[in-house]
Every structure is written in structure tokens, then in C-alpha cells.
């Protein structure tokens, strides 16, 4: 029965929390809590619970496992159903939810990020939802109640806001959708919508900028991107909720303007040149000192210069840099790519055609671990309504 599953989940969660807070995990958990506390060493209970819960379910330990993986491995007394339940928690749903209705011991929640409904229970029973009303909002994390299909369980902290906070909630959800698009793309329909929107945006970018790959100074890149976004903004007035209110938009903006000001990330902003690449799969990205790297592939004599080799090493090493720029340069300079990598790797027999993809997979396994996702977020209908200040 579902009630038994919820009760057993409560017992297992308590045991998992105790396991994760034991001394064996101090070296990983304590720094996370101290970082969140900041110099003042102050951390409220809600945030501490949220950090601990994320640590238990999602944090990758040095061997790639999670705390819940190790908990399940060490508990030979667990049934297969209990193991399935616990391992299902490794894929939690983080979101900002609107309360649709209460239904016996559950609440039905609409995730404003992925636009999906979740029938949700708490391991402390219906008392957890006392004071939660239809039209209000919950900031929380959900885990599946396997093997029960379509049932979810609150995991970690839960914050409730009445419907009067709709504007603030919408702003927070929009920020989260932009900064963490993976939360949006739990919904397969949003994935396809995202690819379609990105194809349209890329085509407009290429038409406006004259190509999908540019090398500019940071100042010129920011100027071009702001001109492009202004062009797109003015071309689609129907897509702008609340136009004409003026003021400074969340995230920065010009007084009296209707769009936020684009600024490069810190790395590219401080470089001599910036590579601006709008790829069909990887989306719009910015690469520091891309002009120097392009010069290396264009002129094999530069392979002997340390600063050029060090830059290529950074591009191969850094997790923040996808394989895209290296692939682009190798494809654009097939006559010199082998020479560049032979010198860098000290492998006389290296050829890009034969060994290039293997090199990228070895240096950047994280990139190949998941299916590619669109580089733009898709805003659901309900979140759009709330952002516009309207009701259903």
C-alpha cells in the first residue's frame, strides 16, 4: 500500500541522513556547509537541510558514487523494492511549485520549471501541508516513490509562500530556468521546444552577425551581442510580458530599456580576444583568447611557443570548456592539426582523424556522459502568466 511505502520511506530517510552525517563523510560535507555559511559562519536551518539533502542524493564522491549508493551497498538487509526506492532518489526533482489542490494526504503540485504535475506526499504525513493552500507556492525537492508510479515524496527542506508572492516567485523561477536549464528539460516536450527555439535563434544570429563563429575583442563582442538582442527584442513585441513598465529589470538592465544588458562571463571579459560560437548542438558559447588558439592552428610554427601550447592545454583540461572549439579549429585547419597535437602531446604518430575523438573523450568524459540539451530555456505557459502579473 502507498501509506506503507511512505512510512517505510520515512524510516529509510532517517537512516540515510544519519549515515551521511557520520564521520566517514565529514571531509566532503563539512566544507560544503562552511562555504554556504560564509565568513560569518551563519547558516539557517532550512539552507543546512537543503545542502545535506543534496549531498546525500547528488554529490559525487571521488569514486563517482553517491552517499545513497554507498548506503544501499552496505545494507544487505534491504529488500529489492527498498533498494529500488532508495536508488530512485538519486534523480530528485528540484523546482518551484504552485499548489494546484490538496487530495487526501497528498498535494498536487505544478512545477513552474518543467510544467509537469506531481502528486506529492510527505514522510511526516498530511501535517506537513498544514497551512499550504491552493494557489500558493512550495520551494522544495521531490523524489520518486518507487515502485508506486506517479507518486512523489518531499525530500529535505520545504518552504511555503502564499499566492500574494506570485511576482517574486515568478522572478525566482525565471532566474532558475535560465541558470539551470536541466531542470526545465525534465519534460521531453520542453526539450523539443528548446531545440526548435534554438534553431530559430541561431538562424537569426547568423543572419544578423554574418556567421556562427566570430573572433572579437571583449568590448566588440558585448556591443555586438547587445545589438543582436535588441534586434531580437524589438522584432518580437508579443513575447515580452509587462512591456512598457520601465525601470531596471532583474539581473541588470538599462533604465527605460525593455531588455537586460548582456555582459560576458569574467574569463572571456578579461581576455585579449573572445571566440563567439553559436553551434547547432552546443548553442551560444564564449571562449577566452580564442584568437590566439586560432593562430596556433593556422600557423604550425607557433607550436614551439609556450604560451600557445599552454592555452591549448587549458582548452583540453578545463571542464568549463566543451570539445566544440577544438573540433572547430581542427576541422578548419586539417593540414596543421596533426602537427599541433603531435607537438603538444609528444606523440609523433598522432593524427586528428584517427585519434582526435578518442582524445576528447578521454579529456572530457563529462561532456559525453549525458544526451545533449538545448542551449536555451523554455518558459511554460503558467510561469509566463505569473511573470506577466496575470492569472490563469
Maximum C-alpha span of the chain: 74
User: Is 161 among the domain residues?
Assistant: yes
Task: Name every residue whose Cβ is closer than 8 Å to that of residue 390 and which is 6 or more positions away in sequence.
Answer: none
CA dihedral 339, 343, 346, 350 (to 10 degrees): -10
Q: How many CA atoms lie within 13 A of 173 on its CB side?
A: 32
User: Is 180 among the domain residues?
Assistant: no
Range of the domain at 112: 2-169
Note down pLDDT in tens along the chain; length 392 residues.
Answer: 788 899 999 999 999 999 999 999 999 999 999 999 988 888 889 999 999 999 999 999 999 899 999 999 999 999 999 999 999 999 999 999 999 999 888 999 999 999 999 999 998 888 889 889 999 999 999 999 988 888 999 999 999 999 999 999 999 999 998 888 889 999 999 999 999 999 999 999 999 999 999 999 999 999 999 999 999 888 775 444 443 332 222 333 333 345 567 899 899 999 999 999 999 999 999 999 999 999 999 998 898 889 999 999 999 999 889 999 999 999 999 999 999 999 999 999 999 999 999 999 999 999 998 889 898 888 888 999 998 885 54
Can you give the pTM of this predicted structure? 0.74
User: Is 109 among the domain residues?
Assistant: yes
User: Is 118 among the domain residues?
Assistant: yes
List the CATH number of the domain containing 81: 2.40.50.140
Q: Is the separation of the CB atoms in 156 and 143 below 8 Å?
A: no
The dihedrals phi and psi of 386, each to the nearest 5 degrees, come to -65, -40
Q: Is the separation of the CB atoms in 167 and 112 below 8 Å?
A: no
DSSP 323: S
DSSP 262: P
User: Is 95 among the domain residues?
Assistant: yes
User: Is 38 among the domain residues?
Assistant: yes
Between CA 34 and CA 23, with CA 26 as vertex, the angle to 5 degrees is: 145
Say how many domains are in the chain. 1
C-alpha distance from residue 122 to each of 59, 118, 152, 333 (Å): 23, 13, 8, 58
**Nearest-angstrom CA–CA distance, 50 and 47:** 5
Q: Is the separation of the CB atoms in 184 and 190 below 8 Å?
A: yes
Give the 3-state secondary structure of residue 252.
Answer: coil
Could you check whether the bond before residue 28 is cis, i.e. omega within 30 degrees of 0?
no
Q: Is the separation of the CB atoms in 376 and 201 below 8 Å?
A: yes
In the chain the beta strands, taken as DSSP E runs, fall at 93-103, 106-111, 117-121, 137-144, 151-161, 213-216, 274-279, 283-288
User: Is 198 among the domain residues?
Assistant: no
Sign, CA dihedral 154-17-80-93, equals positive
Which residues sit opposite 374 in a β-bridge? none
Which residues sit opposite 99 in a β-bridge? 109
User: Is 44 among the domain residues?
Assistant: yes
Q: Which of 59, 38, 33, 58 is nearest to 48 (CA)?
A: 33
Which residues sit opposite 214 in a β-bridge? 276
**Nearest-angstrom CA–CA distance, 359 and 339:** 15
Amino acid at each position: 500500500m502507498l501509506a506503507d511505502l511512505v512510512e517505510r520511506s520515512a524510516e529509510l530517510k532517517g537512516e540515510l541522513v544519519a549515515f551521511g552525517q557520520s564521520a566517514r563523510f565529514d571531509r566532503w560535507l563539512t566544507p560544503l556547509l562552511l562555504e554556504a555559511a560564509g565568513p560569518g559562519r551563519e547558516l539557517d536551518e532550512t539552507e543546512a537541510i537543503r545542502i545535506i539533502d543534496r549531498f546525500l542524493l547528488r554529490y559525487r564522491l571521488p569514486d563517482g558514487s553517491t552517499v545513497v549508493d554507498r548506503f544501499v551497498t552496505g545494507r544487505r538487509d534491504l529488500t529489492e523494492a527498498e533498494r529500488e526506492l532508495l536508488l530512485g532518489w538519486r534523480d530528485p526533482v528540484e523546482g518551484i511549485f504552485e499548489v494546484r489542490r490538496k487530495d487526501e494526504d497528498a498535494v498536487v503540485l505544478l512545477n513552474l520549471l518543467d510544467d509537469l504535475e506531481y502528486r506529492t506526499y510527505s514522510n511526516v504525513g498530511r501535517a506537513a501541508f498544514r497551512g499550504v493552500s491552493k494557489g500558493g507556492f512550495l520551494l522544495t525537492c521531490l523524489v520518486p516513490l518507487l515502485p508506486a508510479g506517479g507518486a512523489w515524496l518531499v525530500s529535505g527542506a520545504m518552504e511555503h509562500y502564499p499566492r500574494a508572492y506570485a511576482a517574486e516567485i515568478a522572478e525566482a523561477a525565471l532566474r532558475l530556468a535560465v541558470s539551470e536549464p536541466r531542470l526545465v528539460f525534465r519534460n521531453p516536450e520542453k526539450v523539443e521546444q528548446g531545440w526548435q527555439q534554438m534553431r530559430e535563434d541561431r538562424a537569426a544570429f547568423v543572419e544578423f552577425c554574418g556567421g556562427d563563429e566570430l573572433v572579437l575583442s571583449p568590448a566588440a563582442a558585448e556591443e555586438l551581442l547587445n545589438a543582436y538582442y535588441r534586434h531580437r527584442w524589438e522584432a518580437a513585441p508579443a513575447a515580452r510580458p509587462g512591456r512598457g513598465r520601465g525601470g531596471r529589470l532583474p539581473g541588470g538592465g538599462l533604465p527605460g530599456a525593455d531588455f537586460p544588458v548582456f555582459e560576458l562571463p569574467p574569463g572571456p571579459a578579461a581576455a585579449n580576444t573572445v571566440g563567439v560560437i553559436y553551434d547547432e548542438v552546443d548553442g551560444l558559447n564564449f571562449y577566452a583568447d580564442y584568437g590566439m588558439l586560432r593562430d596556433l592552428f593556422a600557423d604550425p610554427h607557433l607550436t614551439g611557443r609556450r604560451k600557445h601550447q599552454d592555452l591549448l592545454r587549458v582548452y583540453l583540461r578545463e571542464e568549463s570548456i566543451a570539445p566544440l572549439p577544438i573540433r572547430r579549429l581542427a576541422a578548419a585547419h586539417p593540414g596543421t592539426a596533426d602537427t599541433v597535437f603531435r607537438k603538444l602531446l609528444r606523440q609523433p604518430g598522432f593524427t586528428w582523424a584517427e585519434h582526435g575523438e578518442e582524445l576528447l573523450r578521454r579529456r572530457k568524459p563529462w561532456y559525453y556522459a549525458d544526451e545533449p540539451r538545448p542551449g536555451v530555456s523554455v518558459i511554460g505557459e503558467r510561469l509566463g502568466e505569473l511573470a506577466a502579473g496575470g492569472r490563469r
